[in-house]
Amino acid sequence: MVKVLVSGACGRMGQAVVKAVQDDADLSLVAAVDVRGGVDAGEAAGCGKCGVMVGTDLEKALLDSRPDVMVDFTRPDAVFSNAMLAVKNGVAPVIGTTGMTADERAQLEALSLEKNTPVFLAPNFAIGAVLMMLMSRQAAKYMPHVEIIELHHDNKLDAPSGTALQTAEMIREVRASAQQGHPEEKEKLPGARGAKVDGIHIHSVRLPGFVAHQEVIFGGLGQTLTIRHDSINRESFMPGVVLACKKVRDLTGVVVGLEKLLD
């Protein structure tokens, strides 16, 4: 049985994680933490009382409940300190919160190795999104002209999305840095052509009604190819989160991407 603490338990993703942990026979919810504490985690998640009260002090919850794994879906400005605290206490973080900087990741990697406590991080826990990224990397070998459009709900705090950045990273593995569009093109409004990663343009859309969606568009002579993924609800992420909870303790250091856990 894997003992799980959920950090950000009252948020949109945290509530879905509380329910997924409750529903899995091999996982046990031992603690829940959120800025908004004082409620039963199951009741907050809408799946009935579970006897685990949501606390507000992460370190106290880690020490009191001694979990094996901490799942974190909080905020870009909270995830790093939460993850460092978990690793310091020998608890393996499964991180879904996006927006951690490269420097923070490096510090987490150093502590993870020092404490012999693995960390798993995925910018997207949906299997379809992972396939979209893998297929995009494959397509970019043959169609190197590519732009990414990511679309999310308007409560998302970071832009571009972690999934868009990870997709660009994976495309960079197979595609030389190149400027796209006309060499003399001018933006009449700053940002009109989006953000750029090695010449790959990324466009971020934020609107109510969306959950998490992305299109990767490739252009070639007389043809285009579009690879699109849609998460239509937050359950789409749960099989990936559950798998990570079960496998994280077999890893070493900081491991990034759900594809690393798949056969």
Residues annotated as catalytic are: 152, 156
Q: Residue from 23, 26, 35, 128 that binds ligand NAP (CB under 6 A)?
A: 35
CA distance 163 to 122: 9
117 binds ligand NAP (CB under 6 A): no
Question: What's the min distance (Å) between Cβ of 123 and ligand NAP?
Answer: 5
Site string for ligand NAP, 54-73 (x = CB under 6 A): ----x--------------x
Q: Which stretch binds ligand NAP (CB under 6 A): 21-29, 103-111, 116-124, 246-254?
A: 116-124
The residue type of 240 is G
96 binds ligand NAP (CB under 6 A): yes
Q: Which stretch binds ligand NAP (CB under 6 A): 21-29, 45-53, 104-112, 122-130?
A: 122-130
Site for ligand NAP in 161-200 (CB under 6 A): none
33 binds ligand NAP (CB under 6 A): yes
Nearest alpha carbon to residue 197 among 228, 229, 174, 164: 164
150 binds ligand NAP (CB under 6 A): no
Applying CB under 6 A, which residues contact ligand NAP?
7-8, 10-14, 33-36, 58, 73-76, 78, 82, 96-99, 122-125, 156, 212, 237
